[in-house]
Amino acid sequence: MANVLVFSETHKGNIKPVTLEILGKLEGQTVDVAVIGDLDDAQVKVLAEHGAAKVHKLKGDNLDKYSPEGYSNALHGFISSQSYDYVMTGATSLAKDMFPRLATKFDAGMASDCVNFLFEGDEFAGTRPLFAGKCLAKVNLQGPKPHFITVRPNALGLPESTTAASGEVNEANVEAGEIRAAIKEIIASASEKVDLTEANIIISGGRAMKNSENFSILDEMAEVIGATVGASRAAVDSGYASPDMQVGQTGKTVSPSLYIACGISGAIQHLAGMRTSKVIVAINTDPDAPIFTKADYGIVGDLFKIVPIMKEEFKKILS
């Protein structure tokens, strides 16, 4: 059995769902969870139900908000005092920034954004997409331990059954050390929507949206089904949508349960970024558009006609 620590980022006091996906997949290993700051009893209970033997609450000065140095110093200090073989976490914005720093403090290797993994004996073997998912490869780590791994949210799925462990709480003091790059201010996003990389449903618009105002019809349908709105590179480069909305090889790689592509032809680099979506719906006037080769349900038609009808149909079945 491998000895694994799962670091969970918390958001408004809640653990990230990807933490439970990872815990489910780690069944059979010895697994502890670490958070920075506090965690209420209900959250600890959920972690225990998913197999956490210990829940470490790491506390110290200057850790109330994220800083690359503070978080990586604090975790480095704590992990050095333990004997973990692997340290895993979800591939969130924070982890993508912090984990390579933490791994390097151990001179250790890191596998980014794995979509699946297993243990061959005590050794980790992961699967990760490269070239934005145009291909997949097996990934192994070598060199000093612990080894570090981030797992893409939504890729593993939540476990159907879980084996509980004791979930014993341990509070540990940690040091943030010197923080030279500190957050001065946080500007909240205009929408309170889930990020594209974590969204369960995405509606994306392409060049055929014609302008930024027309994205409002996608926003309206998104409101009905709780979706996040994305865009193709063509739409972003034409100024119809902001760069943080871009899905594709030079934007975000996503894998929601449902991806609805509206007026997107399906350039290779876009397909690469969304092909792992579980169900894909494409709406396009061109019956030969490449997007239809990846669509589970393709509608050859004008998005400006189809989307409003679809919004009403979703309303009907959800009411």
Partner 1 sequence: MNIFVCVKQVPDTETKVQPNGDGTFIETNSIKWIMNPYDEFAVEQALLVKAANAGSTVTVVRVGGVKDTEALRTAMAMGADEAILVEAEDNLDSYSIAKALKGAIDKSGKSADLILCGKQAIDDDCLQVPQILATMMELPSVSVIVGFEQDGDKVTVKREIEGGALEIYELNKPCILATNKGINTPRYASLPGIMKAKRKPMQQLSLGDVGVTADDRRVVYSDFQLPPEKPAGKKFDAMDEADQQKVVEEVVGLLRTEAKVI
Using CB under 8 A as the binding rule, the residues of this chain from 233 to 292 that contact partner 1 are 236, 242-246, 249-251, 253, 257-258, 267-269, 275-276, 278-281, 285, 287, 292
Can you read off the two tokens belonging to residue 265?
């032809």
Q: How far is the CB of 37 from partner 1 (least distance, A)?
A: 17
Q: Does 215 bind partner 1 (CB under 8 A)?
A: no
Distance CA 192, CA 147 (A): 35
Q: How far is the CB of 54 from partner 1 (least distance, A)?
A: 27
Q: How far is the CB of 120 from partner 1 (least distance, A)?
A: 12
Q: How far is the CB of 88 from partner 1 (least distance, A)?
A: 15
Q: Return the residues of window 40-69 that contact partner 1 according to CB under 8 A.
A: 66, 68-69
CA distances in angstroms from 2 to 120, 194, 224, listed in the order given: 10, 33, 44
Residue whose CB is less far from partner 1, 94 or 174: 94
Residue whose CB is less far from partner 1, 42 or 317: 317
Q: Does 111 bind partner 1 (CB under 8 A)?
A: yes
Cβ–Cβ < 8 Å for 66, 74: no
Among 41, 120, 142, 239, binds partner 1 (CB under 8 A): 142
Among 49, 175, 195, 223, binds partner 1 (CB under 8 A): 195
C-beta neighbour count of 237 within 10 angstroms: 14
Pattern of binders to partner 1 over 79-98, x per CB under 8 A? -------------xxx-xxx
C-beta neighbour count of 228 within 10 angstroms: 21
Can you read off the two tokens belonging to residue 32?
């502890």
Among 80, 163, 191, 216, binds partner 1 (CB under 8 A): 191
Distance CA 197, CA 129 (A): 15
Backbone angles phi, psi at 179, to 5 degrees: -115, 110
Closest residue by Cα to residue 15 from 5, 4, 7:
7
Q: Return the residues of window 119-138 that contact partner 1 according to CB under 8 A.
A: 129-138
Can you read off the two tokens belonging to residue 96?
């993508």
Q: Does 170 bind partner 1 (CB under 8 A)?
A: no
Distance CA 237, CA 223 (A): 25
Q: Does 207 bind partner 1 (CB under 8 A)?
A: no
Report helix, strand or coil for 110: strand
Distance CA 255, CA 251 (A): 13
Q: Does 110 bind partner 1 (CB under 8 A)?
A: yes
Among 62, 194, 212, 223, binds partner 1 (CB under 8 A): 194
